[in-house]
Amino acid sequence: MKKRIFCIFFAIIIFCVTTLSVSAFTPTGFEVSARNGILISYDTGESIYEKDADTPVNFASLSMVMSALVIAEKCDDLDSYSCEMTLDVKKRYLGTGLAVINLTRGGKYSVRELLSLALVGSYSDALYLAAISVFGDEASCIMAMNEKAVQLGLTNTVFADLNGLSEQQYSTARELATIFRNAYQNTDIAEMLSTRSYTLSANAYREKANENFTSVSFSNTCMIINPQTAHFYNKVKAGKTGSMTASGRCIVTLANHEGNSYICVLLGEPTNNITTKEGKSVRPDFYDTKSLYNWVINDFTYREVVKKGDIITEVEVGLSKDNQYLTLAAADGLYATLPKNSDNSTVTYNFIMEKEVINAPVTEGEKLGYAEVYYSGEHIGNIDLVATNSIESSFFAVLGDTFKRCFESRWFKVFSTVLGIMVGIVLTISTIMAVRRRVVRSKKVHKNNY
């Protein structure tokens, strides 16, 4: 019984170790309320902070970022006013609890206007109208979203609708950071995600617009980018929020400081305000986002870990004329975001060579493999390894190796086997014929004696 309890306890420990992701670096002075989160370098993709970043969870209307991205990529002209608001679209999300905008029935809108309304104000009906106008129907757009996820190499992300209403959708903090990073590289989407307030006006092209319709501004739901709110943080340049009962509050943001950019994803934040150590009541998703960015800005620096030309390792070279060993250097430098007081004493490498055995000739500058670079056990990047000098081959060594490889080759073994069988057959036939000849001669001798 004790043995069984111990086995169960050990299995639980193994499960926890293998399923919960551990932060690359641990912040001090505050705790993150989110159930899942990650903070990465936008420039390199390296992870700086993690909290259960690989567990698939619901992420509410953060899905709108992917929806808008695939629509923008498919649409030839974002400024074409071909999207007409219909009664069916207006009724689509009524009573669902999702944000909807009272666009004029019969009014025509551009894809850019609709996507801006979706990413700034989180309006589901605007996004739906853009999707069916560009893709023809909602299902085709959702299919494109999942195909895009596959293209990005995401294995734990599934989209079930455009706006995150479905509880069947899921992703991880790490993969959402990848989606946001990719989306921000689209200049149109980046502009929308960075818009603090969007103004929609009644222009003449809205053929059936109500004459009393006037321009109106919509504030970004990601109030951390808006200086007119108490949540404003001047380092954050873009973002998207989402909230559902199943997902809690969710937020993805991009911040910039002294030329270095970062992406922070927090999922499963409490829906109610929390009280800080100072006794302030704050919204947890905005508070944690600020805290993490302040931590990385104050305690970390983006520095060169490996310089171009640094000698990394030494390898043995076969078939060489003179040198038996060759030094390999870094083809380029490697930068990473690391603690300000860090040094390279804990930097280690894992070498992956293009060939198991390196033989001459080798040309100076030739790439022979790459090295995975780790800081304190955390992977921070890869560097290509190149030869620091040329090495000539030895004629006799090459000749001997050629014969050796020839004799060890499969075809030589097959040839030898076939040849051996043929020789065996010939010897067998020769033996049989020799025996027959002896028998014949023996019979002739026996007959002559009589």
CATH number at residue 339: 2.60.410.10
Say yes or no to pLDDT of 235 above 80: yes
CB neighbours of residue 110 within 10 Å: 20
Residue 385 sits in the same domain as residue 365: yes
Say yes or no to pLDDT of 209 above 50: no
Closest CA to 79 of 158, 188, 182: 188
Question: 414-417: which pairs have CB atoms within 8 A and are 24 or more residues apart?
Answer: none
343 within 8 A of 313, measured Cβ to Cβ: no
List pLDDT tens digits, range 76-120.
899 987 898 888 988 888 888 888 887 777 888 999 999 999 999
CB neighbours of residue 393 within 10 Å: 17
SS3 450: coil
More confident residue, 206 or 370: 370
DSSP string, 334-388: EEEEEETT--GGGEEEEEEESSSS-BS-B-TT-EEEEEEEEETTEEEEEEEEEES
Where does a domain end: 266, 285, 300?
300
Residue 10 pLDDT class (50, 70, 90 cuts) = very low
Residue 36 sits in the same domain as residue 178: yes
CB neighbours of residue 314 within 10 Å: 11
For 358, the token pair is: 């390196």
299 within 8 A of 49, measured Cβ to Cβ: no
Distance CA 190, CA 69 (A): 10
Whether 404 is covered by a domain: the verdict is: no
Residue 426 pLDDT class (50, 70, 90 cuts) = confident
Instruction: Give buried/exposed letters for 12-51 (b at 16+ CB in 10 A, else e).
Output: eeeeeeeeebebbbebeeeebbbbbbbbbbbebebbbbbb
263 within 8 A of 39, measured Cβ to Cβ: yes
Average of pLDDT values for 118-137? 95
Where does a domain end: 265, 300, 335?
300
Residue 207 pLDDT class (50, 70, 90 cuts) = very low
The reported pLDDT for the residue numbered 208 is 41
Distance CA 70, CA 144 (A): 7
Residue 255 sits in the same domain as residue 122: yes
The reported pLDDT for the residue numbered 213 is 52
Bridge partners, residue 369, by sequence: 353, 385
232 within 8 A of 219, measured Cβ to Cβ: no
Distance CA 296, CA 438 (A): 98
Say yes or no to pLDDT of 11 above 70: no
Q: Domain residues for 427? A: 409-449
DSSP string, 178-233: HHHHHHHTSHHHHHHHT-SEEEE---TT-TT--TT---EEEE-S-GGG-TTSTT--
Residue 142 sits in the same domain as residue 116: yes
Distance CA 141, CA 135 (A): 6
More confident residue, 108 or 71: 71
Token pair 């280690």: residue: 348
Q: Which of 218-222, 276-280, 428-432 has the highest mean pLDDT?
A: 218-222
CATH no. for residue 107? 3.40.710.10
Residue 132 sits in the same domain as residue 196: yes
Q: How far apart are the first and last CA of the chain?
A: 97
CB neighbours of residue 364 within 10 Å: 11
Whether 5 is covered by a domain: the verdict is: no
Task: Name the strand (E) or helix (H) holding 284.
Answer: helix 284-299
The reported pLDDT for the residue numbered 330 is 97
Residue 269 sits in the same domain as residue 144: yes
Residue 312 sits in the same domain as residue 375: yes
Say yes or no to pLDDT of 1 above 50: no
Residue 55 sits in the same domain as residue 145: yes
Helical axes 111-121 vs 63-74, angle rounded to 10°: 170
Whether 6 is covered by a domain: the verdict is: no
Distance CA 193, CA 241 (A): 10
Distance CA 236, CA 255 (A): 4
Distance CA 287, CA 236 (A): 12
Token pair 């953060």: residue: 62
The reported pLDDT for the residue numbered 216 is 75
DSSP string, 91-110: HTTTTSS-----PPTT-EE-
Whether 2 is covered by a domain: the verdict is: no
Estimate to the nearest angstrom the gap between the alpha carbon of 139 and the chain centroid: 25
Bridge partners, residue 170, by sequence: 158
Residue 71 sits in the same domain as residue 206: yes
Say yes or no to pLDDT of 17 above 80: no
Residue 399 has, within 13 A of its CA and on its CB side, a CA count of 3
Average of pLDDT values for 115-132? 95
Distance CA 436, CA 433 (A): 5
Residue 266 sits in the same domain as residue 325: no
Number of independent structural domains in the chain:
3
Distance CA 145, CA 183 (A): 12
Residue 123 sits in the same domain as residue 73: yes
The reported pLDDT for the residue numbered 432 is 86
Whether 127 is covered by a domain: the verdict is: yes
Residue 243 has, within 13 A of its CA and on its CB side, a CA count of 13
Estimate to the nearest angstrom the gap between the alpha carbon of 438 and the chain centroid: 82
Whether 14 is covered by a domain: the verdict is: no
Helical axes 63-74 vs 138-151, angle rounded to 10°: 100
Q: What is the mean pLDDT of the chain?
A: 86
Average of pLDDT values for 19-35? 75
Residue 59 sits in the same domain as residue 135: yes
List pLDDT tens digits, range 152-183.
999 999 999 999 999 999 999 999 999 999 99
For 405, the token pair is: 């490889």
Whether 329 is covered by a domain: the verdict is: yes
Where does a domain end: 260, 280, 300?
300
